[in-house]
Amino acid sequence: MTRMVSPFDPGKKAIIELIRQPLYDEQALTSTSIEVTFFQTGFAGRDFRQTNLETQGLLPVPKFFVIDGIRIVFTENKTHSTKIGDLEDIMYGSFFKFVLGGLKDYLVVPTFMVPSGVGIVGMSDQGANTAAATVLATHGAPVLSNRYILRQHVITIPPQQSFKASINFPAVMGSLTSTETWVVLEGDLAREVL
């Protein structure tokens, strides 16, 4: 752990430490989704499985976060054989956006460009009976290094600076099954030393 004076503290009194800790937030994508925003609800009625952001859309002083990668993780529904079609509709029918400060877009890419790096790659247990086929899939090889990497152009979220991520659909996906989706910001969290 690295300890230092916070570069965002005007009085240079806040001692912080950097830890490797992703920020993540879960929302449901549904058949009526046009824009689904992430990191906007904090812990309001939620738990650590759904988010680890304490406050709505920002980090409290003196915390800040340096993003070096992003991943999008979709749930796999083992009993719903059309889920692979839903996943394809989401990946190829939407785009991902990360906004800092309310107005400035820092990343806008098709959703398929942001791999999950976790979960099942794909499997089919079709056998002779095609009507009873079981199909599972997720996007991206299940390797933690498989993510959208920012490399030399990291994004820093300062304390008290609003931010959000969103998955946006140009058109309503009428047949989409409700899909739990996580946006995971990979990077280093600067937190106060106790």
Q: Which CATH number fits domain 15-192: 2.60.40, 3.30.1050, 1.10.10, 2.60.120?
A: 2.60.120
Residue that has been written with the tokens 């309001």 in this structure: 44
Q: Which of 81, 68, 88 is nearest to 138 (CA)?
A: 88
pLDDT of residue 63: 92
Secondary structure class of 132 (helix, strand, coil): helix
Residue with tokens 């098709």: 110
User: Going residue by residue through the chain (194 aa), what tens digit of pLDDT does each one get?
Assistant: 666 677 776 666 778 899 999 999 999 988 888 999 999 998 888 999 999 998 999 999 889 999 999 999 887 655 554 466 777 788 889 999 999 998 899 999 999 899 887 765 665 666 555 555 555 555 666 666 778 888 888 999 999 999 999 999 988 777 777 888 999 999 999 998 87
The pLDDT assigned to 29 comes to 87
Q: How many CB atoms lie within 10 A of CB 38?
A: 26
pTM: 0.84
Task: Report d(CA 7, CA 188) in Å as an integer.
Answer: 15
What whole-number distance in Å separates Cα of residue 117 and Cα of residue 174? 28
The pLDDT value given to residue 116: 83
CA gap 8, 44 in Å, rounded: 27
Residue 124 makes CB contacts below 8 A (sequence gap 6+) with 133, 134, 135, 136
104 CB neighbour count, 10 Å cutoff: 9
- Distance (Å, rounded) from C-alpha 16 to C-alpha 29? 36
Q: Please tell me the total number of residues recorded for the chain in this structure.
A: 194
Q: What pLDDT does 47 receive?
A: 93
Report d(CA 178, CA 86) in Å as an integer: 9
Backbone angles phi, psi at 74, to 5 degrees: -105, 145
Asked whether 122 and 137 are in contact (CB, 8 A), the reply is: yes
Strand partners, 17: 3, 191
